[in-house]
Amino acid sequence: MTSFILNDRNYTTKLPPGAVTLDLLRKEAGLTGTKEGCREGDCGACTVLLGIPLEQGIKYMAVNSCILPIAELQGRHLVTIEGVNPKEGLSSIQKIFVEEGASQCGFCTPGIIMSLTGYLLSTIDPDDAGATGSLGGNICRCTGYVSIKNAAKTVSGITGHSPAGSCHSREHLEWLVENGIIPPYFLEIEEKLQAMDTYESFGLDANVSGRTVTVAGGTDLFVIEAEKLKNANLRLLSKEKRMNGISITDGRAVIGAAATIRDIIDSGIFSNSGNLERSLDLVSSAQIRNRATVGGNIVNASPIGDLTIIFLALDSRLRIVNGSDYREISLKNFYKGYKLLDLSPGELLESLEFPEPDLKTSINFEKVAMRKHLDIASVNSAAVFRTNDEVIENADISAGGVAPVPLYLAGTSAAMSGMKISTDTAKFAVRTACNEVSPIDDVRGSAAYKKLLLGKLIAAHFVELFPGLVDGEKLL
């Protein structure tokens, strides 16, 4: 059984842990305000809030219920559109949507309301960009987006700056209750969660098989294998303390395999790493960033995974565990072929670490996709240069979409060592990189097109990082 708080009441379900939350809500709980659209985490119609208890306070985030396994609900707070409705009238966000005419057929509206509510729950200093950005994972098929964006911008200003020191605190919840964003029962949830028996009794009543599947964020796994996972025993890395957390120790940044993209952004660990922090905002939607993990991205082994390409250029090392034993391996050597990993049965990726960038380190990430947001790359690339007096002491360059694996450009990286930064050096890097790869024709583009893109991205690294030393017009 799985026990959690659903809106304002305790709830226990006997559905198997691998079933998805969307089905629990609509078919068992009868909460049909949460809509079923794509079942792939793309449209946002099924967006709900998941409240995770911390040592102090609760962390709320918007997630896609269609790819959220029920096992993740244990001992947590699940909020649907019904759970943000006041006893009478509308919430402040709902009123704004009425005033702005931002809802037409209404199918997507509950998900949009939940995304904006989640945004205000997760920040003490809302702004227009953050509010509209929080809706990146919500598709509207009939209203058009102008009125929705106008409503989102109005929402960002209705509370102003929260007096709370943390968005996870009771003080912040009180502020949102006072401003009509959430109902008063939210103030009782922390105490109710503390009183719950959080023992997970999967298998006692549910039809759970003996098969155990390790799940990180599940944002890809539950799109592809939802039916197969329904009756599986799940090992949730999100609930294993050693797999979470982000820190800097002795000049090395350490990121747990279960840390999410949102965790990385919130930690500020990329704040001094070129454009990496803002580039992460281009990775999928807010709902997916709240769930997708570092370990899942790396082990998924997508040849165009944005995180993997970034961590390759950062010269990352992996800590792989098997019980009490462990070993370390360079990420550069982790991929042996398409979807083939240096990972034996029983082994698990526990964490990743890389040297903390210093003032001599220049970092850049570039990505070309069919659209800027919410799309996988046709080709992507990251570059990390360590320089001294306009000379490249060391270079680490990676590329995605040009090989069957996320590719570290070993030849190009080595060739850069000792070269003076100039337009000619950048041209040489472009030629070397294009000669190093052998892309194939596929739905993302032809091999020739991908080589052309890679060359442009390599050139862009130099233009972005060394504008005074490289002539962009001659290069691009």
Q: What is the pLDDT of residues 153-177, one digit of tens each?
A: 999 999 999 999 999 999 999 999 9
Domain that holds residue 445: 240-476
**pLDDT given for residue 29 in this prediction:** 97
For residues 182 and 248, state if they share a domain: no
Q: Round to whole Å and give the CA distance between 280 and 132.
A: 16
For residues 315 and 396, state if they share a domain: yes
CATH code, domain carrying 50: 3.10.20.30
**pLDDT given for residue 65 in this prediction:** 98
Residue 213 is assigned to a structural domain of this protein: no
**pLDDT given for residue 297 in this prediction:** 93
Last residue of a domain, one of 174, 189, 204: 189
For residues 464 and 392, state if they share a domain: yes
Last residue of a domain, one of 127, 154, 189: 189
**pLDDT given for residue 204 in this prediction:** 39
Roughly how many angstroms between the first and final C-alpha of the chain, as a whole number? 59
Q: Round to whole Å and give the CA distance between 256 and 278.
A: 21
SS3 content of the chain, % helix, strand, coil (to 5): 35, 25, 40
Q: Round to whole Å and give the CA distance between 235 and 41.
A: 21
**pLDDT given for residue 186 in this prediction:** 98
341 has pLDDT over 80: yes
Could you count the other beta carbons within 10 Å of the beta carbon of residue 404? 15
**pLDDT given for residue 208 in this prediction:** 55
**pLDDT given for residue 197 in this prediction:** 62
Residue 158 is assigned to a structural domain of this protein: yes
For residues 183 and 326, state if they share a domain: no
For residues 121 and 31, state if they share a domain: yes
**pLDDT given for residue 376 in this prediction:** 83
Could you count the other beta carbons within 10 Å of the beta carbon of residue 157? 12
Residue 170 is assigned to a structural domain of this protein: yes
Amino acid letter at 148? I
**pLDDT given for residue 201 in this prediction:** 43
Please provide the average confidence, as pLDDT, over all residues in the chain. 92
Q: Which two tokens stand for residue 329?
A: 């391996």
Cα-flanking dihedrals φ and ψ of residue 132, to 5°?
Answer: -70, -35
Share of the chain above pLDDT 70, in %: 96
For residues 265 and 154, state if they share a domain: no
Residue 209 is assigned to a structural domain of this protein: no
205 has pLDDT over 90: no
Which residues fall within 8 angstroms of residue 328, CB to CB, at 6 or more apart? 317, 318, 319, 320
Residue 233 is assigned to a structural domain of this protein: no
**pLDDT given for residue 206 in this prediction:** 44
For residues 277 and 155, state if they share a domain: no
Which residues fall within 8 angstroms of residue 413, CB to CB, at 6 or more apart? 395, 396, 397
Last residue of a domain, one of 189, 219, 250: 189
| Neighbour order of strands in the sheet with 47-53 | 9-13, 2-6, 77-79, 47-53, 58-64
Per-residue pLDDT tens over the stretch 224-233 = 999 999 989 9
**pLDDT given for residue 272 in this prediction:** 85
387 has pLDDT over 90: yes
Q: Round to whole Å and give the CA distance between 197 and 195.
A: 7
Closest CA to 383 of 305, 303, 475, 310: 310
Report which of residues 439 and 209 the model is more confident about. 439
For residues 258 and 341, state if they share a domain: yes
CATH code, domain carrying 361: 3.30.465.10
Q: Which two tokens stand for residue 466?
A: 């060394």
Q: Round to whole Å and give the CA distance between 476 and 463.
A: 9
Share of the chain above pLDDT 90, in %: 82
19 has pLDDT over 60: yes
For residues 257 and 150, state if they share a domain: no
For residues 246 and 144, state if they share a domain: no
Per-residue pLDDT tens over the stretch 98-157 = 999 999 899 999 999 999 999 999 999 999 999 999 999 999 988 789 999 999 999 999
Residue 97 is assigned to a structural domain of this protein: yes
Residue that the structure tokens 């041209």 belong to: 427
Residue 198: pLDDT band (50, 70, 90) is low
Residue that the structure tokens 């270079």 belong to: 395
Per-residue pLDDT tens over the stretch 76-106 = 999 999 999 998 999 999 999 999 999 989 9
203 has pLDDT over 80: no
Number of domains in the chain: 2
Residue 335 is assigned to a structural domain of this protein: yes
For residues 114 and 21, state if they share a domain: yes
Residue 271 is assigned to a structural domain of this protein: yes
Which residues fall within 8 angstroms of residue 173, CB to CB, at 6 or more apart? 58, 121, 182, 186, 187
Which residues fall within 8 angstroms of residue 334, CB to CB, at 6 or more apart? 298, 318, 341, 342, 343
Could you count the other beta carbons within 10 Å of the beta carbon of residue 206? 20
For residues 298 and 386, state if they share a domain: yes
pTM of the predicted model as reported, rounded to 2 decimal places: 0.91
